[in-house]
Amino acid sequence: MSDKRIVIMGAGAAGSYLGAYMTKEGHDVTLVDMWGEHVETMQKQGLRASGSQGDFTIPVKAFHLSDAMQLDGDFDIGFLAMKSYDTEWAAHFLKRLVKDDGVVVSSQNCMNDQLVASIAGYDRAVGCIMSSITVALWEPGHVTRGGPPGRGRGHVVFRVGELHGRITPRVEELVDILMCVDDAKATSNLWGERWSKLTTNSSGNPVGAMTGLGSEGVASMPEARRIQINICKESCQVALAQNYQVEPIRGVSAETFSKADDGEVYEDLDAKFQPTGGGADWKSSMGQDVEKGRRTEIEFMNGYIVEQGRKSGIPTPINAAIVQVVKEVQSGERSPGPENVYRVLELAGMA
The whole-number mean pLDDT for each consecutive block of 10 residues of the chain, a chain of 351 residues, reads: 90 97 98 97 98 96 94 94 97 96 97 98 97 92 92 93 98 98 98 98 96 93 97 98 97 97 96 82 87 94 98 98 98 97 98 88
Q: In which residue ranges of the chain is CATH 1.10.1040.10 found?
A: 194-347
Which H or E run includes 117? helix 113-120
pLDDT value at residue 279 = 65
Query: What is the per-residue pLDDT across 183-193, written as a single tens digit (0 to 9) for each?
Result: 999 999 999 99
- Distance CA(226)–CA(229), nearest Å, equals 5
pLDDT value at residue 132 = 87
- CATH no. of 194-347: 1.10.1040.10
Check if the beta carbon of residue 343 is closer than 8 Å to that of residue 227: no
Nearest by Cα to 199 from 254, 140, 243:
254
pLDDT value at residue 282 = 78
Check if the beta carbon of residue 327 is closer than 8 Å to that of residue 320: no
CA distances (Å), origin 270, targets 7, 261, 328, 351? 42, 12, 28, 18
pLDDT value at residue 278 = 66
pTM of the model: 0.94
Q: Which fold has domain 5-188?
A: Rossmann fold (3.40.50)
pLDDT value at residue 211 = 97
- 158-162/75-80 β-pairing: unpaired
Q: In which residue ranges of the chain is CATH 3.40.50.720 found?
A: 5-188
